[in-house]
Chain A
């Protein structure tokens, strides 16, 4: 999983 998909969280 790419770490970026978590970056959509605040």
Chain B
């Protein structure tokens, strides 16, 4: 474990807590894409298949349970909670996200580190996580009103990925033959997707104006 990875995990944890806090306290999911949350739930489901078979550490297990629990409860809140579901704007959340999953699955079948079910599922989760934010970014462009919590949520998600890239650089230089192109390429692509959002987030923060994404 290194400081970059710990910072990344804590930022990731903060992002899901911010989202849960928003949905649980103000009972609203306005501006939140259910499709992105469903994709994240699938990412954790397919990535943590070895949750009970491959023990890494207490920290690892607890964090996996938190991410699984939080992502599924967010999906439940938006789909099922009698108050929250009313604030879900499905007409704006139109990205065909299941359409995104097939290329990730096919790619995982052809490009992976070991052709076993677990490894293919894990690689699928890496590719899926890279593009899971797309429905949310598309929805933000559409609704254009980004409330603070949603903006912070996306900012934290992007920061978590940026910390992970620093973690990979650190591990590359400190551990013998630590090379994982698949994770690195997918991770860089994922972080770049946030790049555009980061730019406008910082502009709004610097000029102290409300965050607006260009149409």
Q: How far is the CA of A3 from the CA of B177 in the complex (A)?
A: 11
The residue from B56, B113, B114, B176 contacting A8, defined by CB atoms under 8 A apart:
B56
Q: How far is the CA of A9 from the CA of B163 in the complex (A)?
A: 12
Determine whether B178 belongs to the interface, using a CB cutoff of 8 Å to chain A: yes
The residue from B12, B54, B178, B179 contacting A7, defined by CB atoms under 8 A apart:
B54
Q: Is the CB of A9 within 8 A of B5?
A: yes
Q: Is the CB of A3 within 8 A of B12?
A: no
Known contacts A1-B177, A1-B179, A1-B180; A7 and B114 CB within 8 A of each other: no
Contact with A along B41-62 (1 / 0, CB 8 A): 0000000001000101100100
The residue from B9, B175, B180 contacting A10, defined by CB atoms under 8 A apart:
B9
Q: Is the CB of B114 within 8 A of A3?
A: yes
**Tally of contacts, chain A with chain B, CB under 8 A:** 31
Determine whether B87 belongs to the interface, using a CB cutoff of 8 Å to chain A: no
Q: Is the CB of A10 within 8 A of B64?
A: yes
Contact with A along B95-138 (1 / 0, CB 8 A): 00000000000000000011000010010000000000000000
Residue of B nearest to A6 (CB): B180
Q: How far is the CA of A4 from the CA of B54 in the complex (A)?
A: 10
Known contacts A10-B60, A10-B63; A5 and B178 CB within 8 A of each other: yes
Residues of B with C-beta under 8 A to A7 = 50, 54, 56, 122
Determine whether B183 belongs to the interface, using a CB cutoff of 8 Å to chain A: yes
Interface centre among A4, A5, A9, A10 (most CB of B within 10 A): A10
Residues of B with C-beta under 8 A to A3 = 113-114, 119, 180
Binding site for A on B (CB under 8 A): 5, 9, 12, 50, 54, 56-57, 60, 63-64, 67, 113-114, 119, 122, 164, 167, 175-180, 183
* 13 more A-B residue pairs beyond the given contacts A3-B114, A9-B183, A10-B12, with a C-beta to C-beta distance below 8 A: A1-B178, A1-B179, A4-B54, A5-B175, A5-B178, A6-B180, A6-B183, A7-B54, A7-B56, A8-B56, A8-B60, A10-B9, A10-B64
